[in-house]
Amino acid sequence: MNLEKNVPLQPYNTFGIAAKAQALVRVRSEADLLAVLADPQLITLPRQVLGGGSNVVLTGDVKALVLKVEVPGMRLVSETNKHWVIEAGAGENWHDLVAWSLQQGYPGLENLALIPGTVGASPVQNIGAYGVELQDRFESLDAMDLFTGQLFTLDAAQCGFSYRDSVFKHASAGPEGLGLAGRAVILRVRFALAKRWKPELGYLDLERKMAETGIQQPTAQQIFDWVCAIRRAKLPDPQVLGNAGSFFKNPTVTPEQCADIIARDPKVVHYPMPDGSIKLAAGWLIDACGWKGKSVGHAGVYEKQALVLVNRGGRENPCTGGEVMTLAKAIQTSVYERFGIMLEPEPVVI
Ligand code: EPU
């Protein structure tokens, strides 16, 4: 184990916010974590797990010991008549895993192409895009308890997945079980990919691609290429313009609330959910309040997708986490005043 002091975190968060970790340990295996737990000084420090930094807003230097997860590896672990089970180290880049699985001939993750971040972060917020969520392909994960050093395995039910949520986002005991935020470090994740692969095409942007190309039965590779093209067209590349993906969750409302909003704003983008609730497009609500292109300091609202907040100052003159949060609060207030809906941020604020 190698303890690093005063480590710049700008390269490790996709917003590109400048902040430092007072102390940082790179976790490449269980042994690195056990060494932290066995160290009489480090054991006393609070800890902050960091993956690809694609879903965090840093509001200052991090005083907790940063555990930067860099566990490597991608492999096929087992195979049944119905599934391939593949496993990846938590430190692998998510998109690299999607590309690798397709190259190896294990389709199923193609709709989740180009989502920034690491494999270890993917279950934390149950990443999702274009009609597929991580929980639809998830098999199990291995993690370590930071208090006891125990290794444990969780299946999907134990992860408590829901829309952009899991036990790893909850700090304390809740109705669904014990929250694991700040307590568990995810080390490896396994995915079950069905051999009888079916394309997932029930999303407007993908239907458009089918119409444009005239391809009615795309391969997994074609869907991968389409998803990459769609994302590149409307989401900023964090390498070019710092951001943390969608900044707010899409809110759900009752049919009555939705009818009320439609009466005032007939164009509101809404999707009926299987449980009878209605999901609204947060990007549309923010856009309707006139936020596209607006800024607070160097934090801004992306011109092509109002749900994405961006760092307009680049690496040289980056926005601060405070500017991002001031902008986010102003957006929340104006959406609340116009629609009566309080948007919930997606990223973790550190
Ligand atoms: N819209 C606007 N103005 C905007 C933004 C969106 O009118 O500024 C409208 C769009 O025209 C569309 C609707 O809102 O009719 C929804 O927009 P979009 O299809 O871009 O999807 P989204 O709901 O904004 C969600 C996920 C994305 C995911 C896409 C595709 C959330 C919070 N976001 O975005 O996930 O890539 O669907 O499946 O659920 C992420 O979580 O970081 C993320 C990028």
Name the pTM for this structure. 0.93
Residue-wise pLDDT for 150-196, tens only, equals: 999 999 999 999 999 999 998 765 445 568 888 899 999 999 999 99
Q: Whose CA is nearest to atom 15 of ligand 1?
A: 269
Same domain, 50 and 91: no
CB neighbour class for 308 (10 Å; exposed up to 12, middle 13-18, buried from 19) = buried
What integer pLDDT is reported at residue 173 of this predicted model? 53
Same domain, 81 and 166: yes
What integer pLDDT is reported at residue 171 of this predicted model? 79
Beta bridge pairs of residue 145:
184
What integer pLDDT is reported at residue 183 of this predicted model? 87
Same domain, 117 and 157: yes
- Give the residue numbers spanning the domain of 130: 74-194
Domain end (from 21, 48, 69): 69
Q: What's the rounded Cα separation, in Å, for the pair 349 and 326?
A: 12
137 assigned to some structural domain: yes
Closest ligand 1 atom, residue 116 Cα:
42
CA of residue 90 to ligand 1 center, whole Å = 26
Same domain, 157 and 52: no
Closest ligand 1 atom, residue 304 Cα:
8
Residue-wise pLDDT for 254-291, tens only, equals: 999 999 999 999 999 999 999 999 999 999 999 999 99
Q: How many domains does the chain have?
A: 3
29 assigned to some structural domain: yes
280 assigned to some structural domain: yes
Length of the chain: 350
Same domain, 84 and 11: no
Same domain, 44 and 92: no
Q: Is 269 in the pocket of ligand 1 (CB under 6 A)?
A: yes
What integer pLDDT is reported at residue 182 of this predicted model? 82
What integer pLDDT is reported at residue 174 of this predicted model? 47
330 assigned to some structural domain: yes
Q: Is 129 in the pocket of ligand 1 (CB under 6 A)?
A: yes
DSSP 301: E
Phi, psi of 66 (to 5 degrees): -85, 125
Q: In the numeric block, which tokens belong to residue 162? A: 């829901």
DSSP 12: G
Q: How many CA atoms lie within 13 A of 295 on its CB side?
A: 12
The CATH number of whichever domain residue 17 belongs to comes to: 3.30.43.10
The CATH number of whichever domain residue 327 belongs to comes to: 3.90.78.10
Same domain, 181 and 99: yes
Domain end (from 69, 102, 121): 69
Domain end (from 69, 92, 110): 69
Q: What's the rounded Cα separation, in Å, for the pair 245 and 127?
A: 11
Q: Is 307 in the pocket of ligand 1 (CB under 6 A)?
A: yes
The CATH number of whichever domain residue 119 belongs to comes to: 3.30.465.10
Same domain, 150 and 110: yes
226 assigned to some structural domain: no
Q: Whose CA is nearest to atom 20 of ligand 1?
A: 305
Same domain, 12 and 86: no
210 assigned to some structural domain: no
The catalytic residues are: 164, 246, 346
H or E stretch at 252: strand 252-253
Closest ligand 1 atom, residue 205 Cα:
19
200 assigned to some structural domain: no
Same domain, 116 and 185: yes
Q: What's the rounded Cα separation, in Å, for the pair 21 and 292?
A: 33
* Positions in the chain short of pLDDT 70: 172-178
